[in-house]
């Protein structure tokens, strides 16, 4: 009997298992509806004013490649927000970013930033916020464009847990885990 039919069957079975895992039991398997209950995550309330953030970035092998402390300032006018971010990395590098967010009446989110290709989109539902976008890395980081999925979860104490995955050609190349919360007075610049 030929080896080829067994090989094709095995390869098909493996592809089906990988698809099932990514669709039903992985980071990508989450849907906004999964978080419809619990505390309500309204980005107009949680991303408003000064925000403290700290986090780590994991490389493709799962090891921490970078740590950061950041300060954000978010200001709303109606359903539009400008959120300025200043990141201080453990390497000494400082990065300034600025998001423009638009919140729809249905909880949909449109997001723009200078390093985002096109426009990001997302949804706030219940206790979570999902945001998808294509991020262009700086030239000194390779200049690659990565498909990014951000999940932010509202905690009982009002803090936000953020988990983001960055993919190239569908392969995870980095992951970020961060916390966000209203800034304490001693961390607000100029106060």
Q: Mind listing the pLDDT tens digit for each residue in 29-72?
A: 778 788 788 788 899 999 999 999 999 999 999 999 999 999 99
Distance CA 21, CA 15 (A): 10
Phi, psi of 66 (to 5 degrees): -160, 150
Indicate if the pLDDT at residue 4 is higher than 80.
no
Burial letters 55-86, b for 16+ CB under 10 A, else e: bebbeeeeeeebebebbbbbebeeeebebebe
pLDDT in tens, 68-94: 999 999 999 999 999 999 999 999 999
Residue 133 burial class via C-beta count within 10 angstroms: exposed 0-12, middle 13-18, buried 19 and up: buried
- Write the DSSP symbol of residue 191: -
Strand 80-89 relative to strand 64-77: parallel, antiparallel, unpaired?
A: antiparallel
CB 92 within 8 A of CB 111: no
> Which one, of 158, 155, 154, 161, lies nearest residue 182 by Cα?
158
Q: Which of 96-105, 107-116, 135-144, 151-160 has the lowest mean pLDDT?
A: 135-144
Tally DSSP H helices, then E strands, for the chain. 2, 10
Check residue 10 and give its pLDDT.
72
Residue 48 burial class via C-beta count within 10 angstroms: exposed 0-12, middle 13-18, buried 19 and up: middle
CATH 2.40.128.20 is the classification of domain 32-187: yes
pTM of the model: 0.81
Indicate if the pLDDT at residue 26 is higher than 90.
no
CB 45 within 8 A of CB 129: no
CB 11 within 8 A of CB 3: no
Helix, strand, coil percentages for the chain (3-state, nearest 5): 20, 50, 30
């Amino acid at each position: 009997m030929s080896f080829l039919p067994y090989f094709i069957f095995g390869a098909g079975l493996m592809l089906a298992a990988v698809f099932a895992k990514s669709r039903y039991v992985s980071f990508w398997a989450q849907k906004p509806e999964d978080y419809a209950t619990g505390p309500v995550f309204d980005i107009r309330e949680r991303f408003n004013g000064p925000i403290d953030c700290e986090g780590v970035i994991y490389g493709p092998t799962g090891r921490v490649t970078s740590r950061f402390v950041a300060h954000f300032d978010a200001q709303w006018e109606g359903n539009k927000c400008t959120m300025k971010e200043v990141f201080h990395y453990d390497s000494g590098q400082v990065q300034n970013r600025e998001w423009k967010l638009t919140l729809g009446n249905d909880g949909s989110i449109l997001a723009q930033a200078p390093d985002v290709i096109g426009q990001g989109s997302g949804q706030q539902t219940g206790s979570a916020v999902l945001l998808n976008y294509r991020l262009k890395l700086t030239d000194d980081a390779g200049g690659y464009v990565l498909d990014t999925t951000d999940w932010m979860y509202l905690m009982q104490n009002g803090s936000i847990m953020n988990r983001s995955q960055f993919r190239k050609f569908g392969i995870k190349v980095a992951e970020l885990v961060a916390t966000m919360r209203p800034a304490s007075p001693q961390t607000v610049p100029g106060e």
